[in-house]
Structure 1
Amino acid sequence: MATYTHPEVLVETDWVAAHMHDPQVRLLESNEDILLYDIGHIPTALKIDWVEDLNDPVIRDYLDAERFAGLMSRKAITPQTTVVLYGDKNNWWATYAFWVLKLFGHQDVRIMNGGRTKWIAEKRELSRVVASFDPTEYPVPTRDDTAIRAFRDQVFQHIRHEGVALVDVRSPQEYTGERTHMPEYPQEGTLRGGHIPTAVNIPWSMAVAEDGTFKSADELAALYSAQGITPDKDVITYCRIGERSSHTWFLLTYLLGYPRVRNYDGSWTEWGNGVGLPISKPYQR
């Protein structure tokens, strides 16, 4: 059985249990349901609120470099700290936070395989106490949007070229346009259903096992190569707002070692509402 290209970015629950009091390690919990942290989290873990902490309060973009440095300081993180992320939804938001940290160049970031669900299933210790750490001095970094982030106009050009690939990680019903509105996510509404032309549909959930851990390298390689998503291509992933697609971006980049993968965080809420943008919609009522 093949191994992951970068196995060091995944840590198991045993590793976290052994290192959660290590001063060189900072655990961060990032959930879709921001109340979960308060009812019980891994001892010493701090909370990352994907809305309040990672996003700009006005424009649709991420926090700037100064705010990022302040966030890292408040979370007692230095550039040398090993940051371990985990959360609900099989680590949707953990990989999203991982992606944002990589935009700012933090070196040692890891994901706890299986996330919050696996930790709880194993009946491991939970705490309601918010750990307290002294703030650090985190230098203001440079945010690099070029290597791992794709923008709308880049996607528009991307679909016109050969040797590229576009992965829609949403559900098949979203991909075909059968499901346009998401009542559970009113902030993600779009006027049009369907998918970006040339995109193949590989739902993010196909990459995880029943316990929430990532499938094996062999299984993942077979899953993506079967749909033409191969390492020789320039790959862009997308979903509705960029969180599910960060999960696929993470596994393609780090577990399978694809060298050119970007996450289109504008995703369908931008594309499906954009004036004049082409849409494929195989589903018709």
Structure 2
Amino acid sequence: MKRLITTTRFLVLAMLVLFSVTGEAKEGIEPIVSTEWLAENLDRENLVIIDIRSGDAYAQGHIPNAVNVPLEVPFSAWTTMRNDLLMEVPDEAELFSMIGNCGITKDSLVVIVTEIAEPPAPPYPSANATRAAFTLFYAGIENVAILDGGYNKWVAEGRTVTNVVPAVKPVAYNGKVNEELLVTEEYVKKSLKKAIIIDARDADVYFGVTIEPYAPKAGHIPNARSLPTPWMWNEDGTYKSIDTLKEMAAGVIGKQGKREIIVYCGVGGYASSWWFVLGRVLGYDKVRLYDGSAEEWTRNNEMVKYTWTR
């Protein structure tokens, strides 16, 4: 028995040593990575940095080895317009082609880099980062992270930037899209009393004080709960602490349960941010995104609006 225990311990130690030496991608990546982490891992073989800023911004300077794939609305490699709806997921063939052209494989560790909007401008660029991340998860890429504080923080810290465009070796990406991440209008209708519906838009929009041009009806989807996306970031564009994000989520959703969570916004940008934080950062199960969002819902359905009287 003593010999068996000794042998078992030896095998466990040998496996740990082998893993530490090989440094395989199976260790994954945290969903939000710091500038310090990225600086230390720039030369990592399986790391792919995707800069989603405009081509002009990228040309003026970018993080070494970063590949530029701008996210623009209505059309870009990340989003398309389908049935007159903005920011829909791209067709599978086009999406897989973009992923392959970036040299991304299923084993890659992908870090999304965006710019940070200066207050009081809306944090749309930060939401674009989560939208890009969502699109990669949808395409079957599991190890995707966002650079906390974006390109702005990297530059503010005096870290290395370059104008050199990296040479990328394209690959044939043959993944499988995860349709379970998305829900349709009809699915939302059937789930109004069963699922937790999260409205990720600004509070003024949720309450009907403000009407957005692409969703010309005041208010929100029936039974939806307000969890404004801009609240998840600090003024410098970094994410609020995990404890704070947990408190925000628990205050609206409650603790982890068996109920499905459906997130929507105006067209699918802000919704991707809470999808990312709830599902990838905080570990909530069954978090899905309504891609058509308020833009589609208001075409065929009514919204509800809360009012107060003295």
TM-score interval for Structure 1 and Structure 2 normalised by the shorter chain: 0.7 to 0.9
Q: Which moves more between the two structures, 217-226 or 95-104? A: 217-226
Q: Any residues of structure 2 matched to 1:167-246 within 5 Å, and which?
A: 167-181=198-212, 189-232=214-257, 233-246=259-272
Structure-2 residue corresponding to 1:126:
161
- Once residues 58 and 200 of structure 1 are traced to their aligned partners in structure 2, the CA distance between those partners, rounded to angstroms, is 27
Change (3 A) 1:202 1:58: closer
The reply on whether 1:138 has 2:173 as its aligned counterpart is: yes
Cα distance between partner residues in 2 of 1:57 and 1:152 = 16
Cα distance between partner residues in 2 of 1:34 and 1:172: 33
Instruction: Return the match for 2:37 from 7, 11, 15.
Output: 15
Q: Are the equivalent residues in 2 in contact too, given 1:165–1:229 (CA < 8 A)?
A: no
Listed as ranges, the matches of 1:1-285 within 5 Å are: 8-31=30-53, 35-50=56-71, 51-56=75-80, 59=83, 60=85, 61-88=88-115, 89=123, 91-139=126-174, 141-146=175-180, 148-161=181-194, 164-181=195-212, 189-232=214-257, 233-272=259-298, 274-275=299-300, 277-282=301-306
- Quick check: 2:113–2:146 contact (8 Å CA) kept in 1? yes
Q: Cα distance, 1:102 vs. partner?
A: 1.0
Give the residue type in structure 1 aligned to 2:57: L
**Which stretch has the larger CA shift, 55-64 or 77-86?**
55-64
The answer to which of 117-126 and 95-104 deviates more is 117-126
Counterpart of 2:161, as a letter, is: L
Of Structure 1 and Structure 2, the greater helix share is in 2
Q: Is the 8 A contact 2:61 2:163 kept in 1?
A: yes
- AA aligned to 1:95 is T
Distance in 2, matches of 1:55 and 1:36, equals 20
- In the alignment, the residues of structure 2 paired with residue 7 and residue 23 of structure 1 have an alpha-carbon distance, to the nearest angstrom, of 14
Q: CA deviation at 1:203?
A: 0.9
Larger CA Rg, structure 1 vs 2: 2
Amino acid at match of 2:58: Y
Distance 2:233 2:29 in 1: 16
Contact 2:148-2:238 at 8 Å conserved across structures: yes
User: Which string of whole-angstrom CA distances, capped at 9 and with x for unpartnered residues, describes residues 53-107 of structure 1?
Assistant: 0234665542233222211221122222111112134631111111111112112
1:84 is paired with a residue whose SS is: strand
State the distance in 1 between where 2:81 and 2:239 align.
33
TM-score, length-normalised on structure 1?
Answer: 0.84
Q: Deviations over 1:123-147 (max 9, x none)?
A: 32333332221212322x221212x
Classify the secondary structure of the residue corresponding to 1:212: coil
Conserved 8 A contact 1:175-1:194: yes
User: 1:221–1:7: structure 2 CA closer, same or farther, 3 Å change rule?
Assistant: farther
CA change 1:129–1:58 in 2 (3 A) is farther
For structure 1, the 5+ residue unaligned runs are 1-5, 183-188
Q: SS of the residue aligned with 1:226?
A: helix
Provide the rounded CA distance (Å) in 1 between the counterparts of 2:255 and 2:166: 43
Unmatched 5+ residue regions in structure 2? 1-27, 116-122
How many residues align? The count is 266
Superimposed CA distance per residue, residues 24-56 of structure 1 (whole angstroms, 9 cap, x where no aligned partner): 11100124x564333322121112233320234
**How much is the aligned-residue C-alpha RMSD, in angstroms?**
2.3
